[in-house]
């Protein structure tokens, strides 16, 4: 028997600020089980950009990630502003985090960030022919170092799931 959506009996907003929107839903399954509370994080969509310079090197960022308490190498990315198109957000994040602009921006599709508890998607992009046009201007919460790596070894350096997924999704374009 195919699963069916749960019935939401009540919904409470627990936190609503600039950083997070957390709600608690009291639900009932189609077979009558109560699931309460079920916590849901409502985020705006994100972008993840695998950027390649004109010589085919990967442009990545080394950044402190407070949630995990690690400094990790990753793709360029960030949030899609309300009303902003994901491709515009990808180009904006590339320019802000690295000082580069893309010669070509390829939409690789979107995936759910974590559809068990999050409402948002990650939009994946491949930016080719990137050239530096100025200095990076990261957000106040970002401490970033721009790094260039050979594309062939990039996959072994990425440690966040959706960064790896962007790299993986780009492979068919890069092989063509």
Read off the pLDDT of residues 76-126 as tens digits, 9 standing for 90 and up. 999 999 999 999 999 999 999 999 999 999 999 999 999 999 999 999 999
Q: What is the pLDDT at residue 94?
A: 98
Q: Is the pLDDT of residue 68 over 90?
A: yes
Q: Are residues 105 and 55 in the same domain?
A: yes
Number of domains the chain contains: 2
Kindly report the CATH number assigned to the domain that includes residue 79.
3.90.79.10
Q: What is the mean pLDDT of the chain?
A: 96
In a domain? residue 57: yes
Domain housing 117 = 46-175
Phi, psi of 8 (to 5 degrees): -90, 115
pLDDT category at 142 given cuts 50, 70, 90 is confident
Strands, DSSP E only, in 69-159?
70-74, 76-79, 100-101, 104-112, 121-132, 144-149
Based on the domain organization, do 24 and 65 belong to the same domain?
no
Q: Which two tokens stand for residue 19?
A: 């950083």
CA angle at residue 141 from 135 to 147, to 5 degrees? 45
Q: Give the chain's radius of gyration (CA, Å).
A: 19
Can you say how many angstroms the Cα of residue 130 is from the centroid of all Cα atoms in its chain?
Answer: 20
Residue 2 lies in a domain: no
User: Across residues 6-22, what is the average pLDDT?
Assistant: 96
Bridge-based pairing state of the strands 46-53 and 121-132? parallel
Co-location of 116 and 136 in the same domain: yes
The per-residue pLDDT for 19 is 83
Quote the pLDDT of residue 49: 98
Residues 17 and 85 in one domain: no
């Amino acid at each position: 028997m195919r699963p069916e959506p749960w019935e939401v009996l009540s919904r409470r907003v627990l936190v609503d600020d600039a950083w997070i929107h957390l709600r608690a839903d009291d639900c009932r399954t189609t077979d009558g089980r109560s699931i309460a509370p079920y916590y849901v994080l409502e985020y705006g969509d994100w972008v993840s950009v695998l950027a390649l310079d004109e010589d085919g090197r990967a442009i990545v960022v080394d950044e402190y990630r407070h949630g995990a308490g690690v400094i990790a190498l990753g793709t360029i990315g960030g949030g899609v502003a309300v009303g902003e198109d994901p491709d515009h957000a990808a180009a904006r994040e590339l320019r802000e985090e690295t000082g580069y602009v893309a010669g070509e921006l390829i939409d690789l599709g979107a995936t759910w960030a974590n559809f068990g508890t999050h409402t948002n998607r990650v939009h994946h992009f491949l930016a080719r022919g990137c050239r530096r046009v100025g200095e990076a201007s990261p957000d106040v919460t970002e401490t970033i170092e721009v790094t260039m790596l050979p594309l062939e070894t990039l996959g072994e350096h990425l440690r966040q799931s959706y960064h790896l997924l962007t790299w993986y999704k780009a492979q068919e374009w890069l092989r063509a």
